[in-house]
Amino acid sequence: GLLPRLQTSALTIRTLAASNSFSQNIPGCLWKLGRLNHVAIAVPDLEKAQSIYKDVLGAQVSETVALPEHGVYTVFVELGNTKLELLHPLGENSPIANFLQKNKTGGIHHICIEVDDINTAMTELKKKKIRVLSEEPKIGAHGKPVIFLHPKDCLGVLVELEQA
């Protein structure tokens, strides 16, 4: 199912990020990529999704938190080595509402990777022609600065970077 694949992906990303040979392939990098923080899943029915993870799979599930500045409701599912973030639209201009119009049953929306210096990462990524979707970091669901990288510059994946 989905959970073993996500755990395998998280382990692979964590192993690659921790690997000395991997990090040595990035010349002159002034910031460091850290661990996988979470995988975000857009859901059309937040209560049903919470119930599946809590009541069916037995996971620890957080309370629902509204983030009006991001246009989402969030719920975090603890997995031990990482988290799942369940996203549901909040307001008419929610990016999750747009995602769910194209993906009626929901699906993986983005991955979030921690960085040790988000401002330096943002500056260097722009120099490398990676588009950042905001001019400045915003405060994310964990109360820490975050930025999003354009999926067309990241192999079709929306990547969130979060200050560790």
- The one-digit pLDDT tens for each residue of the chain (164 residues) are 555 555 555 554 554 455 444 444 555 688 999 999 999 999 999 999 999 999 999 999 999 999 998 999 999 999 999 999 999 999 888 999 999 999 999 999 999 999 999 999 999 999 999 999 999 999 999 999 999 999 999 999 999 999 99
Q: Residue 152 has what pLDDT? A: 97
Position 127 in a domain: yes
> Considering its fold, how many domains does the chain have in total?
1
What CATH number is attached to the domain comprising 85?
Answer: 3.10.180.10
Whether residue 134 is contained in a domain is answered as yes
For the chain, the first-to-last Cα distance in angstroms comes to 30
Q: How far apart are CA 20 and CA 28, in angstroms?
A: 14
Q: Is residue 38 part of a domain?
A: yes
Residue 25 lies in a domain: no
The pLDDT value given to residue 2: 55
9: in domain: no
For 80, the domain range is: 33-163
Looking at residue 15, its pLDDT comes to: 47
Q: How far apart are CA 156 and CA 139, in angstroms?
A: 24
